[in-house]
Structure 1
Amino acid sequence: MVHISNFLLAALPAVFALPSASQHDLEGRSANVAQTEAHWANQASAQGRHFCYIKPDANGGDDAPAIMDALNNKCNSKALVIFPGPVYNIQTNMTTLDLQDVVIYQFGRMLWSTDIDYWLSVSMPVGFQNQSTVWYFGGHNVVWDGWGVGTLDGNGQVWYDWAKSQGNLARRPMNINFRTLTNSVIKRLRFVQSQMWTMAITYSQYVDLDDIYVNSTSTSQWSTLNTDGCDTIYSDSITFRRWTISNGDDAIALKMNSSNIAVYDSYFENGQGIAIGSMGQYNGKYEHLENFYARNITLKNTAHVSYLKTWAGISRGYPPNGGGGGLGVARNITIEDVTLIGGRQQPLFAWQCENYSGFSGQDCDSSLFKMEDITWKNIKGTVGPGVTEAVYLQCSSAAGGCDNVEVENFDVVVASTGKPLVVWDCFNVNAPIGFTCTESVTPKLSPAVTGGHGPDN
């Protein structure tokens, strides 16, 4: 639970239902929630708040300067900020950090321009894996509420066509980086057609993200690789509730030094599933991923329910498309009450062989990164006709293998035949609980290498 002041809680409206995928093209205001400027001004006055009512530029010009001016100046603290819409053209990068006790209600669509050369020239470092962003957003006791219609639209199709299904291209930016955000709530927002990752949460604590809709879908031959829903980095106590994600990569991904992360009551479609990692990418550097819990998750046409991934112990190249040799621990990971619909690969997956530059799938026993205390419970559903394995768990012998790996109440069948998955393919899994490894021989290249994850970290 996010710890925010009673005063701020009094300003929050009741939670509405998450918008469905059929509302992908919603734009502008909702008649049920949008009110006049005078209405909001009166509400702000009654609460003793500064007030900003940000209208789009009348001539269709760049709205980013007005947004930054409001959030960095007049309405930087103890404020109510309204975006009535309909469309805000975002043509320059934004930094809006250090907000204090600010409530934002967004009823319009923020639409990023398609000037790829410009965005590549101004994208800002996230501070991990050479990733970048075009918006730093942070503060303390912030509520940003999209009321089910507020949308961030990255105009992603131009990026998908530009990338041509290549991963981790230099300075290709994510839409927004929630950065040093604490004791805050992000709710009922829509994120569509993200340029790369939809968002990352970095250096943040006690953030709830509720009723969020993410959809990044390509209409051309080129894939939406790298369109993660959200990645957590150097963050603690982050909670995701009632997310809907349709994309081409990780739904939710935990990366370096993520702890106490939870996902509840969510639906993920067409991507890779829930990712723990990748880990161990920085040679000689220690990191941890601890205390992850997910419950009541439905996944359709995803590669896995979840997967854990570390780089090999031999370092080759540099992040994001190289690395390895890191060490640390991933522990206390529980995923339960899952429905899988048409999974594309092994429902449960872990491996410690990550290494690009032509070496992926090699040096699997060299990683010093420890994985332990992993539980999958109450997993039911179906996989496609080419899937034969319930799990593929490749643990590194150099790290002492994986300890305390448990699977309870696993009931996944091949959709076309109704036959259960009976192959539990695992290596260096010490005393597995609830299942018996059916193979323990030389590791093979997994589907994750030959046709699955590709160059995403």
Structure 2
Amino acid sequence: MAAFTLLQLLLLIAIPVFGAMNKTGSLCTVTPSGGKDDSTFIMDAFKQCGKNGQIEITEGDYTIAKVMDYLNLENCDISIRGHLTWNDDIQYWLKNSISVTYAQRSTAFRLGGTNVAIRGHGQALFFGNGQKWYDQNRNNGNQAGRPISFTLWKANSFFVDGITWRQPQFWHTFVAYSQNITMTNLDMNATSNSQWSTVNTDGFDSWNSKDITIKNWVVTCGDDCISIKGNSSNVYVKNVTCHESGSACIGSIGNNAIDYVDDVVFEDITAIHSSNAAWIKTYPASGGHVRNVTFRNVYFQDVNQPLYISPCIYSYSNCDSSRLKISDVLWENITGTSRYNVAAGIHCSSAAPCTGLKFKDIDIKPKNGGTPKFLCSNMNSDSGLPCTGSCPASWKQQLNGNA
């Protein structure tokens, strides 16, 4: 019996242990287990080396089966070279994803703190098993508990670079209650392989945040590519290519709230086969504003309705009662082909007409030929847009043919 016990012990010693979090000084190194869940190792690294330390998530395949939530990072460098796959236990995520307050949204992965760099080195992959979500959602709306892939929450001075997303569960990234955020060289793709569409797989959304820089992104998604939501300010977006999306967008804002968006620049934007190119969408609201926004150097191919403003998005009712003011918006060097003959549908609320809209070097041609229409209502007459007619209050975001 003793000999058998010794043999068992020797066998146990000989069996390698896969997956671990090893700490050496201020460095935590995470390796994959090949098992059902690696989130515990990653969370352990955040807790032990997330302050004045370094975290290395090494190459290999990681399974994420539990929510990861850590908001106390400080002076930390995080290196991710592995492939992180969120499992497809939909019932777990529906019950356990973390609320982010905004519009009943929630997230599967949330980080916050101060002075943090997250580098993916062009190797990091976040795979959300999104097809399972798209299929079970069956083209319905925003299912409560369906998690955003990655959220920065109460983050100050964060740098995120070199990460790839494929088939996220919901939105790719969300930045809330944060400031001084830089996100560069990110590659995102939400594409359904079945009859069911992805439904609301935005590339980026900001909310209650300021001082944000986005550069060098490629995004394929079923909704807004880059969306600046309420109480966001000083946002700079440059060199982003958007496929099958809403491209560069302010909104939606003003849904049961007084929202403000100030000082936003979209520059060097490409939109391919998308719904819109450079646009603003609000709900009817009793106040708030969008002010000092620039869309510059926007190029697009086959876009449904390139330039668009709506004060009553989605419901298309009470459009002229909104007092959310849109002012000082510049569209400059806007070039491309519209899917139909409408190049712009601009309807501002009659209760708060748009002022200070400026259009320079606009060259939009219907892809099938003909003369483009520029529909305008309740906006300043010196905008530079060659308005060809009025834009009805109920003008839809998506067109089904020529006007």
TM-score by length of 1: 0.80
Q: Match for residue 389 of structure 1?
A: 342
User: 1:351 matched to which residue of 2?
Assistant: 310
Spell out, residue by residue over 1:351-404, the C-alpha distance to the aligned partner (whole angstroms, 9 max, x if none).
Answer: 11235xxxx2121101111001111100112222xx1112101111112x1001
- Is the counterpart of residue 430 in structure 1 residue 380 in structure 2? yes
CA-CA distance at 1:450 after TM superposition: 7.2
State the alpha-carbon separation in 1 of the partners of residues 228 and 197 from structure 2: 22
Report 1:138-287 matches (<5 A).
Answer: 138-282=112-256, 285-287=257-259
Q: CA deviation at 1:303?
A: 1.0
Please tell me whether the aligned partners of residues 361 and 449 of structure 1 are also in contact (alpha carbons under 8 angstroms).
no
CA distance 1:388–1:52, change in 2 (3 Å): same
Provide closer, same or farther for how the CA distance between residues 342 and 354 of structure 1 changes in structure 2, counting only shifts above 3 A.
closer
CA distance in 2, matches of 1:105, 1:180: 21
Q: How does 1:33-432 map to 2 (within 5 A)?
A: 50-58=26-34, 60-72=35-47, 74-282=48-256, 285-312=257-284, 325-343=285-303, 345-355=304-314, 360-384=315-339, 387-399=340-352, 401-417=353-369, 419-421=370-372, 423-432=373-382
Residues 19-64 of structure 1 show CA distances to partners (whole Å, capped at 9, x for unaligned) of: xxxxxxxxxxxxxxxxxxxxxx9xx98xxx7111101124x12111
Q: Aligned residue for 1:34?
A: none
Task: Work out the CA distance in 2 between the residues paired with 1:78 and 1:446.
Answer: 51
More strand by share: 2
Structure 1: gaps spanning 5 or more residues? 1-40, 313-324, 452-457
| 8 Å CA contact retained: 2:347, 2:392 | no
Task: Deviation per CA, 1:311-358: give whole Å up to 9, x if none.
Answer: 12xxxxxxxxxxxx4520001010111111111x22100011235xxx
TM-score between both structures, scaled by the size of structure 2:
0.91
Computed over aligned residues only, the root mean square deviation of the Cα atoms, in angstroms, reads 1.8
CA gap of 1:109–1:441, structure 2 versus 1, over 3 A, is closer
Is 2:53–2:76's contact at 8 Å kept on the other side of the alignment? yes
What are structure 2's unaligned runs of at least 5 residues? Answer: 1-21
Question: How many Å apart are 1:415 and its aligned residue?
Answer: 2.5
- Cα pair distance change 1:98/1:450, threshold 3 Å: farther
Higher relative contact order (CA 8 A, sep 6+): 1
SS in 1 for 2:103: coil
* Distance in 2 of aligned mates of 1:311 and 1:121: 30
Identity of aligned residues (%): 32
Answer whether contact 2:330 2:358 (CA < 8 A) is retained.
yes
Residues paired across the two proteins, number? 380
Q: Give me the whole-angstrom Cα distance separating, in 2, the residues matched to 1:159 and 1:75.
A: 33
Distance 2:188 2:91 in 1: 25
Go from structure 1 to structure 2 and tell me whether the alpha carbon gap of 1:427 and 1:298 turns closer, same or farther (over 3 Å shift).
same
| Distance change in 2, residues 1:202/1:442 (3 Å) | closer
**Paired residue secondary structure (2:45):** helix
In the alignment, residue 430 of structure 1 is paired with which amino acid? N
Q: Which residue of 2 aligns with 1:25?
A: none
Q: 1:139 to 1:379 in 2, by over 3 A?
A: same
Whole-angstrom distance in 2 between the partners of 1:450 and 1:132: 33
**Is the CA contact 1:54–1:66 (under 8 Å) kept in the aligned structure 2?**
yes
Which residue identity lines up with residue 388 of structure 1 in the other structure?
Answer: N
Cα distance between partner residues in 1 of 2:392 and 2:362: 26
CA offset at residue 436 of structure 1?
3.2
In 2, Cα distance between equivalents of 1:326 and 1:139: 34
1:404-427 residue CA offsets vs partner (Å, 9 max, x unmatched): 11110011212333x452x11011
Give the Å deviation of 1:286.
2.1
| Alignment CA distance shift 1:225-1:66 (3 Å) | same
**C-alpha distance 446-408 of structure 1, shift in aligned 2 (>3 A):** same
1:188 shift after superposition: 0.5
Letter in 2 for 1:52: C
Name the aligned partner's letter for residue 309 of structure 1. Answer: K
Residue in 1 that maps onto 2:14: none
On the 8 A contact 2:342/2:366 being kept in 1, the answer is no
**Partner Cα separation in structure 2 for residue 326 and residue 167 of structure 1:** 26
User: Rg bigger for which structure?
Assistant: 2
Q: After superposition, give the CA deviation of every residue in 1:208-232 in whole Å (9 maximum; x if it has no partner).
A: 0000000111000111121000100
Rounded Cα–Cα distance in structure 1 between residues aligned with 2:140 and 2:278:
23
Residues 277 and 336 (structure 1 numbering): CA distance in 2 closer, same or farther, change over 3 Å? same
Find runs of 4+ consecutive structure 1 residues off by over 6 angstroms: none
**Does the 8 A contact of 2:246 with 2:276 survive in 1?**
yes
Q: CA deviation at 1:441?
A: 6.3
Per the alignment, in what secondary structure is the counterpart of residue 54 of structure 1? strand
| Contact 2:176/2:209 (<8 A) preserved | yes
